[in-house]
Structures are given as structure tokens and as C-alpha cells.
Amino acid sequence: MVFKLNLRSNLILFIVLIVLCCGNCSHVKGVWSTKDFFKFLLKFGVQKTDVHYEKDTKGYVFGNITSRTNFSHLVTFSVLDRRYFLEYYGNRSVDDKEQACKKMFRKISTIAFDVPCFENKQSEDFIRKVPCDKNEVCKEDKLGSVVNGYQLTFEVTDIKEPRFWYLSLVACYRNETTCEWHHFNEEAELEYDIWFVNGNPNISSFNPLIYQFSFDRQNTILLYLVFFLCYMVLVPLQMYAVTRQHHPVTKLFTVSLLLEFVGLLFNLLDVTKFSIDGVGYHRIAMAGDILDILSRTTFMLLLLLLAKGWAVTRMELTWKPLVFTIWFVYGVVHILLYVWNMTEVDIIEDIDEYQTWPGWLILVLRCQIIVWFLFELRTTMLYEHNSKKLNFFLHFGASALVWFIYLPILALIAMQIPAFWRFKLLLGITYSADCLAYCVMAHLLWPTRSEQYFLLAYEQDAREELDEFNEAPHVINSVGYAELRQASSCDSITHEITKVIT
């Protein structure tokens, strides 16, 4: 019962995320009520600042935070790096919110610039008191430069290395007389519209490949575009092949390829729009990810069927329930991993999907499938004596094994890669392995080649077969011989009748 309730709550949360969330947005907007105490807004990777072009390579946070109602005390908007955010974020769950505010800002108060409590020259620009007056610049921003048309601006400089920064709102305020932090124990709403970008927003010549993107996702649009162009060549070729050969293996492979192509197209649309507005098409991106999962599971099913010799050495498939159960379980676990990564993994964790328990589960399951795949392939090859079919199985087995085994190896390598490079590494190698596997399979299943080893199981026109049969040399010879015998018989009968008459 508890498991069902947890599963139901996770599904509801997943649906809410699809409708409301913007994933890795760099532009967030909405309404926040102080009764919720804490609101996490955004995690964003700021690139390393180039000292020669400092203004143009900094990270910038800018936007508006206003309210339609009056606040008795101004609450806090914070922009923190990981060193200060972890303690701040961990203390948000303290039950006594008065104590939570004191603990959350205990470390930050020693470094964050705050008039009149902390105005040290070495202070950091971490917090703002919000909401700001409408059409007015926030109090702290009157001392610095503000992006035109907005109320607040933070300039983030990271000279040594890229870093993640975290944006949030919290119902805490600082007493300007005692400099103590207190809980804002009233219910009020404020509206926020915040941008976080890499590059100077005051100039128009920014790079669209990096400006809206967190550092760990910069230039990913190029990866999607390169593989999209590859599939633009491969998909039409395979569509031509499937019209030339109506075979179940070819059809199943074409379905897998089309799912991959459409999923990639959805992701490309998302990142293209994201490069423009910092939001993208989040629901389309989720649909693209799910299609990508379905494509890989369908391709895995095709590999398992071929390993058992289906449509190559035999038309009847043995152990059907086992094959389709393994395929179904693998697909369900893969989707579970995606949902888990979206709903259960804390945003502040610098881990990838394969460092969670569903991730380890799918890797173990994949390794077991690899062993079973090799066993079935070996059994099939032992019962096959056709040299062309054996040659096909050798090439097929080698390429399929590479596709099966790359993911467990990649997951182990990714654990040693810093978070800023991990996403692009996983994305690039995954798409490369899939694209290469599809290209090899398209080559092996090309009609002029596969007809040598496929058991063709499609209907032909019976009239064409009859015409071909009638035109066969042995049929023509037999017909001629029959006509000759018939003619000889007639001549002999006529001769006998003539003899009787005479």
C-alpha cells in the first residue's frame, strides 16, 4: 500500500513538473507566497571569466521582483555559490523557522554585503532585500550598475574556474538595528522575473551558443545539430530500403530509427528556442527524451531477436515470453530512471542519472542482457552452416556487442569527470554510439545484401510467379514435347483408319 501511494505521488509530481517546470532554464518567472518559506529558483553554471574581456565574459543575474501588496519587512533574494549554499539550503528544513533563518544566514552574514550591518570592502554581493518598489531600482543596486529596464543586477566573476551558482527566495529578514535574522511570519505574494546568463546583457553581439546556457550545457546545440544532419541522410536511405524489402526485421529497425530521429528533432527544437528565450519547449524536450528511450529499447529488442536467429535461421521465435518480458522490464526500468532523475534527485547534487539506484539497476540489467545476448548468438551460430549467414552473424555480433557494452563503461568513466563536463560527455558519446550502431545496422540490412541471408516472409504477386513459371525453360520444353507426342498420336490414328477403309 505504501509503495502504491509513493508511486502515485511520484507520478503526480512528474506530471506537475511537466506542466510547470522549465528544467534547466536561465529565465524564470512566477509568483511566490511567503507562507512557503523557501523557493528554489535556479541552478546555473557560470563560465570562467576572461580577465582580458572581463565585462563580456562574466555571469549576470538581472530581473524584477515586485509585489502588489505592502510588506512590513523586506524578505531576501540570494545568489550563492556552492560554498555558502549547502549550509544555507540544508538549514531550510529546520522546523522552527525563526531558528532556521538564523542558521541559514549564520555563515553568509560574515561575508555578504548588507547595509547597514556589513559594509566591509571585502564583502560579497550575495543578497537583495525584496520586493523592490515598482519602476524603481532595488536599494542595494543604487550603488552599482543595473541592466537597462530591470530593478536588480548581480555580476558574477569566476577567474579561477567555472562554478555553479544557486538562486532562491526565503521568508527571512534582517533587523537593521540589531542585525539579527528573523522569520517573516506573514502571508504575502511577490512576482519575480529573473535572468541568469553568461555574457554581457548590455551588448547585442553575444554568442547564442553560450549566452543563455549554463556552462555545463554550452554548445550542446551543436551536438544535436550534427547528429540531426547525420540522421537526415540515414533516415531517407532506410525509408527507401524498407520500400524495397517488406521484411519484419527491416520494419522493426525502421521504427527504432524513426523514433530516434523524431526524439532528436524534439530536443533540437527545445535547445534552439532555449538559445533565444532561456526557457525552451520543456514538454517537447521531455517527449524527445522518452522517444529516445523507446528507440533504444526497440533497437535492443531487434538485437535480441536477431541473436536468436529470427528471420535468418528460423521464422518461428522460441521463448517468446522470456524475450518480450526482458524487453518490457528493461524499458520500464529505463523510464523509471528518467522519472526518478526528474523528481527525486536533488537539484543541488552534482551527480548524473547513472549514480542513482535506478541507474545502477539498469546497468546491472544491461550487463545481464549482454551475457544472455552472447549465449543466444553462440547457440544460433552453432546450428548454422550457411557461410553467408555465419558471416552476417559475425559482423552483427561484433557491432551489437560494442553498442551493448559502451554504456556500463561510460557510466564508470563519467564518475571521474567533473560535473561541468559530464553532461556533454554522456550526451556526445551516447549519441555517437547510437548513430554508429544505426549506420552499421542499415549497412547489414541493406536489401541487396540482406537477401543473401534473410528468410523472406512477404507475399508476392501470384500472377507474376505463374508467368515466371510458364516462361521457365523446362516448362517450355515439356510443353513442346507433349505437343509433339500428341501430333504423333494423331498421325498414327489417321493411318489406322485409312487402312480399315481400304
pLDDT of residue 143: 58
From residue 390, alpha-carbon distances to 291, 310, 378, 452 in Å are 33, 14, 11, 11
Are 241 and 439 in contact by the 8 Å Cβ rule? The answer is no
Are 213 and 275 in contact by the 8 Å Cβ rule? The answer is yes
pTM across the whole model: 0.81
pLDDT of residue 136: 86
pLDDT of residue 499: 46
Query: Would you write out the chain's pLDDT as a tens digit for each of its 502 residues?
Result: 433 434 344 443 333 343 344 546 789 999 999 999 999 999 999 999 998 888 889 999 999 999 988 888 999 999 999 999 999 999 999 999 999 999 999 999 999 988 888 877 778 999 999 998 888 888 777 656 788 889 999 999 988 889 999 999 999 999 989 999 999 999 999 999 999 999 989 887 778 889 999 999 999 999 999 999 999 999 999 999 999 888 888 999 999 999 999 999 999 999 999 999 888 898 999 999 999 999 999 999 999 999 998 888 877 777 788 888 889 989 888 888 888 887 877 778 877 778 888 788 889 999 999 999 999 999 999 988 888 889 889 999 999 999 999 999 999 998 888 888 999 999 999 999 999 999 999 999 898 887 777 775 444 443 443 344 344 444 444 444 444 344 444 455 444 434 433 4
pLDDT of residue 388: 86
Element (H, E) at 29: strand 27-33
Q: Among candidates 178, 180, 214, 185, which has minimal Cα distance to 199? A: 214
Q: Dihedral sign, CA of 327, 330, 336, 341?
A: negative
pLDDT of residue 101: 96
Strands, sheet with 59-66, edge to edge from the N-terminal-most edge strand: 27-33, 189-198, 59-66, 152-156
Q: Around Cβ 267, how many Cβ atoms within 10 Å? A: 28
Are 158 and 46 in contact by the 8 Å Cβ rule? The answer is yes
Q: Around Cβ 321, how many Cβ atoms within 10 Å? A: 7
pLDDT of residue 24: 67
Q: Around Cβ 132, how many Cβ atoms within 10 Å? A: 23
Tell me, rounded to whole angstroms, the distance of Cα 69 from its chain centroid.
Answer: 41
Q: How far apart are CA 287 and CA 281, in angstroms?
A: 10
Tens of pLDDT, residues 36-73:
999 999 999 999 999 888 888 999 999 999 998 888 89
